[in-house]
Structure 1
Amino acid sequence: MRVISSRDFNQDVSNAKRIARLEPVFVTDRGKPTHVLMSISAFRQLTGERESIADLLAMPGAVADIDPPVVESWGRIGEIG
């Protein structure tokens, strides 16, 4: 667990995010912990929450490689077009 001041957090959010991928980051205000920054996977593990299909589809590039089938003819059910 890493502890950083709110001033340091504000000056380098990217560094705090990098650290939070590995371990929780406690942000302090006047020496007292006020916030915790952690990766989403650590949060989900902590809460028992799992990714929903909507979360997975919202990920960048998640559906970019999927080519939908092309339907050339719409016939009746059971009919081959």
Structure 2
Amino acid sequence: MSITTISSREFNQDTSGAKKAAQDGPVYITDRGRPAHVLLCMEEYQRLTGLDASIVDLLVMPDSASVDFEPERAAITPRPLGF
């Protein structure tokens, strides 16, 4: 993974080059010498945000082994029918 740094002017003049560089790693876009934006490929963005996770991955509780859960037994009593 390589990090590329380009100025805002360079980004405006060569957007396709910046997109190609984002395939190899993040592209820092500077404004007056200071980092202002980061360009990422979609796969990297999804990996960082967790948007590519399945519902099973999202529901996993990594610390579930340490959780004690013993629910009370439900007391269900029938009611007499009124005909």
Compute the TM-score of the two structures, normalised by the length of structure 2.
0.59
Partner in structure 2 of residue 45 of structure 1 = 47
In the TM superposition, what is the alpha-carbon distance from 1:51 to its structure 2 partner? Answer: 7.6
* 1:12 and 2:3 correspond: no
In structure 2, C-alpha distance between the alignment counterparts of 1:46 and 1:22, rounded to whole Å: 15
Q: Distance in 2 between matches of 1:42 and 1:24?
A: 9
One-letter amino acid matched to 2:26: P
TM normalised by structure 1 equals 0.61
The residue aligned with 1:24 is: 26
RMSD of the TM alignment (CA)? 1.5
What secondary structure is seen at the aligned counterpart in 1 of 2:6? Answer: strand
Q: What secondary structure is seen at the aligned counterpart in 2 of 1:44?
A: helix
Q: Which runs of 5 or more residues in structure 1 are unaligned?
A: 53-81
* Structure 1 position 7, deviation (Å): 0.4
Larger radius of gyration: 2
Q: Which runs of 5+ in 2 are unaligned?
A: 55-83
Q: What SS does the corresponding residue of 1:49 show, helix, strand or coil? A: coil
C-alpha deviation, 1:24, in angstroms:
0.4
